[in-house]
């Protein structure tokens, strides 16, 4: 592998990471309920990663505690 091809591969991987983060941001901004958000995040992440569970920790500043939410995906492969 020459350095140009190697650099292009690294750039492509970085681009994929940033596009995945952008997709996550879009999902977070477009949902107001946790169930819909988790479902959307899990679906979007399955396109980029091999996942079977999605866990999200939310901090409630009013109550001063964390809540953990788990979404289990259904694998079809």
What's the pTM? Answer: 0.57
Question: What pLDDT score does 46 carry?
Answer: 75
How far apart are the C-alpha atoms of 65 and 8, rounded to whole Å? 44
Long-range CB contacts (< 8 A, 24+ apart) of 51-57? Answer: none
Per-residue pLDDT of the chain (77 residues; tens, 9 = 90+): 555 666 667 778 888 889 888 988 998 899 988 888 888 887 787 777 777 777 888 899 999 999 888 877 655 55
Question: What pLDDT score does 73 carry?
Answer: 63
Question: What pLDDT score does 30 carry?
Answer: 93
Greatest alpha-carbon pair distance for the chain in Å reads: 56
């Amino acid at each position: 592998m020459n350095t140009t091809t190697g650099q292009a591969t690294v750039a492509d991987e970085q681009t994929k990471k940033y596009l995945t983060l952008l997709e996550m941001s879009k999902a977070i901004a477009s949902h107001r309920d946790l169930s819909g958000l988790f479902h959307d995040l899990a679906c979007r992440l399955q396109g980029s990663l091999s996942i079977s569970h999605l866990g999200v920790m939310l901090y409630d500043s009013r109550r001063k505690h964390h809540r953990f939410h788990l979404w289990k995906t259904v694998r079809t492969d």
